[in-house]
Amino acid sequence: MYNHKINQTRQQILDAFVTLVKEKDVSKITINDITTIAKINRGTFYRHFDDKFDLIEKTETTIFNAIEKSLQDNILNGQIKSITQAEFGNYRLELLGILKDNADFISAMLSKNGDLTFESKLIAQMRDFSMIGLSALGIDFDSMPASRELTMQFMANGLIGVVRHWLANDDISIETVAQTMDTIMSNGIIASFGFEAKG
């Protein structure tokens, strides 16, 4: 019961913060702004967070830890050994589910009023987790050193673009996003538009 109350209050604070980011730049948001919207006193806020930056960092860490746990449970423990396995599709859905569960915060942070460092952190996490996961599935990045970093940056930045567009459009299903990402990852961008490679 006590833990539920703590989580409920934290969510209340986070919801208030996200609401404010929709209205003004993160740099201009004060603790008073947050406590007023959340309908709590300053003491309650400081029992959970040191300041607004601590709020952002702890929320980021929660998201990244969830993604890392999914990677560990599905890929690094050997459960999935190939991207062609049906389980890989389920893994992709699980990752997208984590992002969807945190859609309000992620969308706010990626907006013009958000924290500019968040997008860089998210891209770096996507790059690192993708490389770790693909390496575990047998892709040898050392055999293509000249293009490795370009390829990973292309993939990570592309994924962020997809996520940003998806979270801003409620009519796009999580299954559609997963299928599109799988098609691009497996067959390439040109093939995803329906063009066939010329022999």
Shared domain for 67 and 154, answered yes or no, is yes
Radius of gyration for the alpha carbons in the chain, expressed in angstroms and rounded: 19
Instruction: Say whether both 39 and 60 belong to one domain.
Output: no
Residues 147, 184, single domain; the answer is yes
User: Which pLDDT score is estimated for 1?
Assistant: 60
pLDDT, averaged across the chain: 86
Task: Identify the H or E element spanning 26.
Answer: none
Please give the pLDDT value at position 82: 66
Domain that holds residue 22: 1-49
Using DSSP's 3-state secondary structure scheme, residue 137 falls into coil
- The reply to whether 175 and 84 lie within a common domain is yes
What does the pLDDT read at residue 197? 56
Mean pLDDT of 139-147: 72
| 197 inside domain | no
Rounded (10°) angle between helices 86-101 and 174-187: 130
* Greater model confidence, 84 or 47: 47
Do 7 and 72 belong together in one domain? Answer: no
- Better-predicted residue by pLDDT, 129 or 192: 129
Q: Is residue 127 included in any domain, yes or no?
A: yes
Measured in Å, how far apart are the chain's first and last C-alpha atoms? 65
Q: What is the pLDDT of residues 74-119, one digit of tens each?
A: 777 777 666 665 677 788 889 999 999 999 999 999 999 999 899 9
Work out the angle at residue 87's Cα, subtended by the Cα atoms of residues 155 and 167, and round it to the nearest 5 degrees: 45
**pTM value > 0.85:** no
Q: How many domains does the chain have?
A: 2
Residues 6+ apart with CB under 8 A from 89: 178, 182
Question: Do 101 and 173 fall within a single domain?
Answer: yes
Residue 34: how many CA atoms within 13 Å on its side-chain side?
28
Are residues 59 and 111 part of one domain? yes
Domain presence at residue 174: yes
Q: Report residue 182's pLDDT band, with 50, 70 and 90 as the boundaries.
A: confident
Same-domain status, 91 and 119: yes
